[in-house]
Structure 1
Amino acid sequence: MIKIAFFVEGQTERIFVEKFLDEYITLNKCELIVKKNIGNNKSAKMVFEKKNPYAEFYVLIHEVGNDEKVNITIRENAKDMIKKSGYSYIIGLRDLYNPRYPDPHRRKQEIRDKLINAFYKPFDECKDKIKYILAIMEIEAWFLLDKDFFTTMTDNSQEVTRILDKKNTEDYERPAKVIEKIYRLSGKEYNKHEDDSYNITYNLDYNFLCSGEAKARSDSWHCFVQCVDDCFR
C-alpha cells in the first residue's frame, strides 16, 4: 500500500483536499486518516478515520493550524515518516499570502521562489519524496476557477461576472475577499467557517477544474493536480 501524507494550513484546505481526492482519485481506493492540531501545542486529534482493507493508498490529511506550521511540521517529521513509517510522499499545502510579507501580490513570484528554496534546504536524500505547493495567493483562487458555480450563488449573475474579471485567478490580490464580495450579494458573509468550506468545495465542478482550460488559468493549481497525479499514479 502506498502511504501519502498531506500537511495543510487550515480547515478550508483540509476539507478541500479530502473532497478533491474523493472526486479525482476516489476514496474507495484509500484508507483515510484526517487529523487536526489543537491550540498552539503539537498534539493532534482524530477528525475522521475510514478503514479500507482493499485500499491501494493510505492517506493522512493533517491540518496543522497555520502556514508556517506546515513548514515546521514537515521539517520535524518528514524524514522519520519516510524512513521509519514507510510514507512514499509528503505533501505540504499552504497559501502564499501572509500579511507579514510586504507587498505580497506584486512580489508573489519572488516570495514564492524564496519560500520554496528555504523549505527544501534542510532535506537531502528524501527530497524527491517531499512536495511543497503554494496556492497563489490563497486557495480560494482555485475555487474561483469555477466561475459558473459562483454565478449561481446569487440572483445577480451580471455583478458576479463583473467581480470575476480576471482570467488568471492568481491575479486576484486576495481571492478570499473576492468570494466575500460575492457572498455579500446574497446578504451572507464568507468567514472561512466549516459550513462555508463545505458549501463551496462540495459544489465545485471537479471535471472542469481538472480540465486543461482551468489548469492553464492558475499555475499553482496545475502544480497541485500534477503533484497528485505523480503521487497516486
Structure 2
Amino acid sequence: MDQEESKMTTVSSERPVGRRRFLKTGCMVTAAVGVTVCGAGALAATYQPKIDQPSLSFGEKTVNDRILITYATKAGSTADIAARIGETLSKQNLAVDVLPVAKVTDLSAYSAVISGSAIRMGKLLPEMMTFIQKNQAALQQKSFSIFVVCMTMKDDTEETRKTVGAYLDPVRALVQPAHEGLFAGVIDPSKVGLIDRLAIQVIKAPIGDYRKWDEISAWAGGISAN
C-alpha cells in the first residue's frame, strides 16, 4: 500500500462527523475568532502612543522659595508649554520645578503653583481636577495660576476666549487663579490613539502646531513680574 492509499484508509476509518458535532465545532471556532478579533479591536481602540512627560528643574536646588509648574497632558503639547513657561521664569532668576501632576506629592516647598491642563470634551483632564480638589486648601494660601491648552484657541477671538474661559469655572469655584492662560495646542495624529485619529479625520481637524510661543512666554513673563 502506497502513502496515498494509507491516507485514504486513515480517513475512511474515522467516525463520520455528525451534524450536531459539526455545528458545535464550528460555533467554537467562530467564537474563538470573534474573541480574537474583538480583543484586537479593543486593544487598537484604546492604544495610546507613549508621550514624554518630563520632570525639569531650573535654578538652585537648595532654594526653598520655588515655583511649581505642574501639568496634565494628553499628547505632549501641554508638557511642552509647561517646559517653556519654566524656562521663561528661570531667566528671571526664579527657581522652578516642572512636574507631571501625577508626580507632585508635596507643595510645602513652593511659594507659587502654576497648573496646566489639556482640555478634553470641554473639561480639564481628570487628574488635574483631582489635584486641585485635593490641594484646594494649600493652593488658596499660595499664588496660583493656571493655563489650559485647547484647539478652540486656534482662532483667538473674544468668542473663543469666552468659550474656553468657561472651562475654568470648576477651578474658579475651588481656587481663584491670579493668572489664566488660554493657549492653542497641536494636532498630530501620530501622538493619539485610534479613536482620536478617526475623530480628526471625521471632523477634518486642521493638522499642525498652533502654539504661539511668543504669547506663551509673554504670559509667563507677566507672572514673574508679579
TM category, shorter: 0.3 to 0.5
| TM-score, structure 1 normalization | 0.40
| TM-score, structure 2 normalization | 0.41
Q: Which of structures 1 and 2 has the bigger CA Rg? A: 2
